[in-house]
Amino acid sequence: MEFIVAKYNYWIVIVLLMIGLYAMIAKNNLIKKLIGMCIFQTAVILFYVSTAAKSGGATIPIIEHGHGHEAAAHAAHEAAHHAAHAVHAIDYVNPLPHVLMLTAIVVAVSTTGVALALIMSIYKRYGTVEEDEILEQIK
């Protein structure tokens, strides 16, 4: 039971991956295939982002007292830090998966855009987006 709860983010990702993969392969309608592709890509993105979290009060990856003159004001309130600008990795979530997934989201959006343009061309040419009807027309 502990095992299931401790890794719950992975179960969600696995379910989404399976749904997306099934939709991409088994569905007849091209738009549904495209939606399956979006779900699949989103699942991979969620996987990465969920690995970035850190328990224990870690905050977003932006250094609070990074501005110039505000640093002095903040330093007075920071009881845990000895030096005014010491930064500890334990206080911030892991920034690297966020960066990687910014790239992956952009790639996913671009692929979706290209696939939509292809579907529009197919619709204009064949008049339908159901794959079996298109294959009928080709024969």
108 close to 45: Cβ distance less than 8 angstroms: yes
Question: How far out from the chain centre does Cα 14 lie?
Answer: 14
Cβ closer to other proteins: 3 or 80?
Answer: 3
**Binding to other proteins by residue 84, rule CB under 8 A?**
no
When binding is defined by CB under 8 A, the residue of 6, 76, 80, 83 that contacts other proteins is 6
Distance CA 56, CA 34 (A): 39
**Binding to other proteins by residue 89, rule CB under 8 A?**
yes
When binding is defined by CB under 8 A, the residue of 69, 77, 82, 88 that contacts other proteins is 88
Phi-psi domain of 25 (left: phi exceeds 0; alpha: psi -120 through 50; beta: other): alpha
Distance CA 33, CA 24 (A): 4
Residue with tokens 């009881």: 79
Cβ closer to other proteins: 19 or 78?
Answer: 19
**Binding to other proteins by residue 72, rule CB under 8 A?**
no
**Binding to other proteins by residue 69, rule CB under 8 A?**
no
Cβ closer to other proteins: 56 or 77?
Answer: 56
When binding is defined by CB under 8 A, the residue of 72, 120, 133, 136 that contacts other proteins is 120
Cβ closer to other proteins: 79 or 89?
Answer: 89
Q: What is the largest CA-CA distance in the chain?
A: 78
**Binding to other proteins by residue 18, rule CB under 8 A?**
yes
Report the 10 Å Cβ neighbour count for 109.
12
**Binding to other proteins by residue 1, rule CB under 8 A?**
no
